[in-house]
Amino acid sequence: MTSSGENQPARHQEVGHKSLLQSDALYQYILETSVYPREPESMKELREVTAKHPWNLMTTSADEGQFLNMLLKLINAKNTMEIGVYTGYSLLATALALPDDGKILAMDINRENYELGLPIIEKAGVAHKIDFKEGPALPVLDQMTEDAKYHGTFDFIFVDADKDNYLNYHKRLIDLVKIGGLIGYDNTLWNGSVVAPPDAPLRKYVRYYRDFVLELNKALAVDPRIEICQLPVGDGITLCRRIS
């Protein structure tokens, strides 16, 4: 993070500013040249609604939404899962990418936030693809892993939730995603704090979750059941392709 001196360029006010690029101007260039001109009207509307919410930092950035939308089309995803929904920006990006009979199992502990974005999702004509469950995801995942009919049935799973449970999610999701399918873990560079020195001045929540993110990154790097690719998109996203 740069200190705000008089000679510093003003940080732009994009909602969920999570770019790890050194240059704000470069990030702004990407958004204005390649992301915003192609952003569906419904996603733009949801992004603007979310910007007014006090927790707007929790949203998926617009460039990451665009990335997820294309990725889902490239892998021809049809049956997906999302853990951590917030107002539904990444959920909408997913729903728009899936075929009309595609399905998303979406889980979040807060229905109120989801309902903020729901009218926009409904207006976009994709709400029928979403099965929203309010509450912690782990009990639902436990039920699913105990039932063999769910094993290997998901093409794509996106996790953007409580970082202290990412490894617990991974233990269960590896059985539910199909071989050749993808799991995407969001925030795996965690505000860049993964390389911060021990005495760095970090926000309390950043410091608290950093160790969990570091632990996850180490575990994914040596998990023989997956191939991985960690990308500096948004706040860092690690894609895991199940191979066994």
Q: Are 146 and 170 in contact (CB under 8 A)?
A: no
For residue 87, give the DSSP letter: T
Q: Are 83 and 157 in contact (CB under 8 A)?
A: yes
pLDDT digits (tens, 9 = 90+) for 85-143: 999 999 999 999 999 999 999 999 999 999 999 999 999 999 999 999 999 999 999 99
Buried b / exposed e along 53-76 (16+ C-beta atoms within 10 A) = beebebbbbbbbbbbbbebbeebe
pLDDT digits (tens, 9 = 90+) for 140-154: 999 999 999 999 999
DSSP 169-234: HHHHHHHHEEEEEEEEEE-TTGGGGGG--TT----HHHHHHHHHHHHHHHHHHH-TTEEEEEE-ST
For residue 142, with 0-12 CB atoms within 10 Å meaning exposed, 13-18 middle and 19 or more buried, which class applies? exposed
Distance of alpha carbon 15 from alpha carbon 213, whole angstroms:
23
What residues form DSSP beta bridges with 83? 107, 159
Distance of alpha carbon 188 from alpha carbon 108, whole angstroms:
19
Q: Are 76 and 44 in contact (CB under 8 A)?
A: no
pLDDT band at 17 (very low <50, low <70, confident <90, very high): low
pLDDT computed for residue 22 by the predictor: 80
When mean pLDDT is compared across 116-125, 179-188, 199-208, the lowest value belongs to 199-208
Q: Are 141 and 41 in contact (CB under 8 A)?
A: no
Residue 215: count other Cβ atoms within 10 Å of its Cβ.
14
Distance of alpha carbon 82 from alpha carbon 89, whole angstroms:
11
Predicted TM-score (pTM) of this structure: 0.91
Distance of alpha carbon 217 from alpha carbon 238, whole angstroms:
8
